[in-house]
Amino acid sequence: MAEPARSRSVDEAERARALLEGRSVPSKPAAADDGRFIVQIGAYAEADKAREVRLKLERAGIKTYTQVAETPDGKRIRVRVGPFQGRADADKAAAKIKALNLPVSILQL
């Protein structure tokens, strides 16, 4: 049975809020491994902190990108890796990032 649209939108809003605040969120139950995924390392208020995290990742050979998001608490700079075709590739990247003692959240696009 399909999940009601209202429940899905509430779940997505809670996930987005947690990501913007830099908190880890549980991944959505995935029906399959296919699809596009990204790995988010964090959402930073300070550009210097985002730059520091990116530098740490790129020194380890992991290519990153950023996305700026406006939140009620001000601008946040999301540091991300990907996109990946399939959950397995995102999981591999997340494992490398965790080995650098950085938090990760895997998100499906």
Instruction: Give me the number of domains the chain comprises.
Output: 1
86 is a domain residue:
yes
pTM of the model: 0.68
pLDDT in tens, 68-96: 999 899 999 999 999 999 999 999 999 99
71 is a domain residue:
yes
65 is a domain residue:
yes
Region for 29 from its dihedrals, namely left if φ exceeds 0, alpha if ψ lies in -120 to 50, beta otherwise:
beta
6 is a domain residue:
no
pLDDT in tens, 17-68: 776 676 766 555 545 567 899 999 999 999 999 999 999 999 999 999 999 9
Residue 7 carries which side chain, given as an amino acid letter?
A: S
